Structure 1
Amino acid sequence: MSDAFITPNLFGELDRLQRQMFSLFGGFPTSLRSTRVGLFPQINVGSTEDSIEVVAFAPGLDVGKLDVSIDKGLLTIAGDRTAQSDRLPDGARQYAQERFSGAFRRAVELPQQADPDKVEARYIDGCLLISIGKRETSKPRSITVQ
Structure 2
Amino acid sequence: MLPLSRTLETLLGLQEAMDLARDTGFFENTTTSRGVYPPMNIFEKDGDLVLVSELAGVKKEDLNIEVKNNILRLSGERRIDYGENVSYHRIERTASKFDRTLRLPVNVESDQVRAEYIDGLLVISLPRAESEKPKRIAIQ
Q: What TM-score range do you get, normalising by the shorter chain?
A: 0.5 to 0.7
Q: Which residue is equivalent to 2:33?
A: 34
Show CA shifts across 1:81-128 (max 9, x none).
111434xxx976322212131221111111233222220011012111
- Is 1:48 equivalent to 2:45 in the alignment? yes
Across the aligned residues of Structure 1 and Structure 2, the Cα RMSD in angstroms comes to 2.6
Q: Which residue is equivalent to 1:79?
A: 76
Which of 100, 116, 119 is the matching residue for 2:110? 116
Q: How many residues align?
A: 112
Q: Percent identity?
A: 28
Distance 1:100 1:42, change over 3 A: farther
Please state how far the C-alpha of 1:132 moved relative to its aligned partner: 0.7
- Is 1:128 equivalent to 2:104 in the alignment? no
TM-score by length of 2: 0.67
- The answer to which structure has the higher strand fraction is 1
- Runs (5+) with no aligned partner, structure 1: 1-27
Q: Tell whether the 8 Å contact from 1:82 to 1:102 is kept in structure 2 after alignment.
A: yes
Provide the C-alpha distance between the structure 2 equivalents of 1:130 and 1:53, rounded to a whole number of angstroms: 6
Provide the C-alpha distance between the structure 2 equivalents of 1:74 and 1:113, rounded to a whole number of angstroms: 8
Show CA shifts across 1:32-78 (max 9, x none).
93354xx3211111112331111110011111121111135321111
Provide the C-alpha distance between the structure 2 equivalents of 1:141 and 1:72, rounded to a whole number of angstroms: 19
Q: Secondary structure at the match of 1:33?
A: coil
Query: For residue 139 of structure 1, what is the amino acid of its counterpart?
Result: K
- Runs (5+) with no aligned partner, structure 2: 1-27
Provide the C-alpha distance between the structure 2 equivalents of 1:138 and 1:91, rounded to a whole number of angstroms: 56
Query: For residue 99 of structure 1, what is the amino acid of its counterpart?
Result: R
Q: Which residue is equivalent to 1:144?
A: 138
Query: For residue 51 of structure 1, what is the amino acid of its counterpart?
Result: D
- Is 1:104 equivalent to 2:103 in the alignment? no
